[in-house]
Structure 1
């Protein structure tokens, strides 16, 4: 489905049930964006990158997520810094249901490499590999923080996959993103087959900023 300008596309209501392939890596970064003041950083010099191909289910699209691990109380998840998809329904659903700042991009695949570009140019060129046999299907944790109408959202997914050792390598990397110390991720994961169910997010109560801090800006993607 195609929409024009800022007109929202109709998008499926939650939950979304999706299946596909995933590659992820935890990259050492020169520096990472600080999370909003209501979140605390976890591994502050590490950048989480997920490249996902949703091939069946509610919608079919590709996605690239760049974020940092963050914590609020006992909740730990990825604070989404930037996220790109190649489907407008996914973009609007991500913004309006979960409060994550999805942007449109083009994903051009050539064998085991993908080049991602948006309206400003290159985002990244990434190479992916999977090594060794897949493990039996396992439930795995997957959680993220977003922001919806000024309220912090916490997204927990029911996620199961057949994981294997894998790698994600940045052959090209936009200057708009945090600089990487090296192009490869020391910690990598691949899932040739995963199943995910994304329900509506939990809405967390507001927190007053700590003494001497201003209330963080939280985006409104409507």
Structure 2
């Protein structure tokens, strides 16, 4: 797909090669291995910013590891976050699957991009999420995300004011470091608001979406998050 996605048409595209000078992904494919080019902040990370999120029906979604169970079939959660103050300042795109581990529900992060190298290595080494470097180019309410392999996504976001009063909203994420399962629950206080989240371009490296608009969408006009060091559990095994 070279242009926009319309209506409920499937959203998926095959793009050309990465443009010259594009940001290159870190060499480490498995969190916790490989050289670290520079320091990153220790946990906890205190971050403030804005967030947009939504749930999208997808053609197919890779199965999570055996210790995690899907909460929704063929569904991807997409989050676009702008961390504007705190430990670090950076933009982030998350694509993952809503899951549970025992009685604890959260997000299994399958793809994630950031535009800050310290966030990349901290995410990999502390929380065990395979962050990649990308460029986030904003034009008003539209953002184009590009990494070393080429375009990732183009998203249009809007927030419908007024927002609600600030509320505590716990957020749990699952990762993996050195084969161990990591589980981190952030202390997250936000002013939630109605929003729109629309995908106008989507890389073929990601599962194809069945519609361009999020089925369920939401935003936080401002949030304050404290992300602690994760708990670690024995490595998951196949059954």
Please point out which of 148, 158, 161 is paired with 1:132. Answer: 161
Residues 163-185 of structure 1 show CA distances to partners (whole Å, capped at 9, x for unaligned) of 00011110100000010000000
Which runs of 5 or more structure 2 residues have no equivalent in the other structure?
1-25, 28-34
2:100 & 2:226 partners in 1: Cα distance? 22
Which runs of 5 or more structure 1 residues have no equivalent in the other structure?
211-222
Q: Report how far residue 205 of structure 1 moved.
A: 2.9
- Whether 1:205 and 2:226 are equivalent positions in the alignment is no
1:164 alignment partner, SS class? strand
The 8 Å contact of residues 44 and 69 in structure 1, kept in 2 or not, is answered as no
The residue that corresponds to 1:142 in the other structure is 171
2:193 alignment partner, SS class? strand
Q: Report how far residue 67 of structure 1 moved.
A: 0.2
Residues 100-123 of structure 1 show CA distances to partners (whole Å, capped at 9, x for unaligned) of 000000000000000000000000
Q: What is the TM-score of this pair, normalised by structure 2? A: 0.84
1:100 & 1:9 partners in 2: Cα distance? 18
Map 1:67-216 → 2, pairs under 5 A = 67-210=96-239
Aligned positions, number? 207
The residue that corresponds to 2:19 in the other structure is none
CA RMSD of aligned residues (A): 1.3
Change in CA separation of 1:207 and 1:114 when aligned onto 2, cut-off 3 Å: closer
Q: Report how far residue 138 of structure 1 moved.
A: 0.0
Q: Report how far residue 186 of structure 1 moved.
A: 1.4
The 8 Å contact of residues 115 and 125 in structure 1, kept in 2 or not, is answered as yes
- Greater relative CO, 1 or 2 (CA 8 Å, sep 6+): 2
The 8 Å contact of residues 52 and 217 in structure 2, kept in 1 or not, is answered as yes
The 8 Å contact of residues 44 and 68 in structure 1, kept in 2 or not, is answered as no
Q: What is the TM-score of this pair, normalised by structure 1? A: 0.90
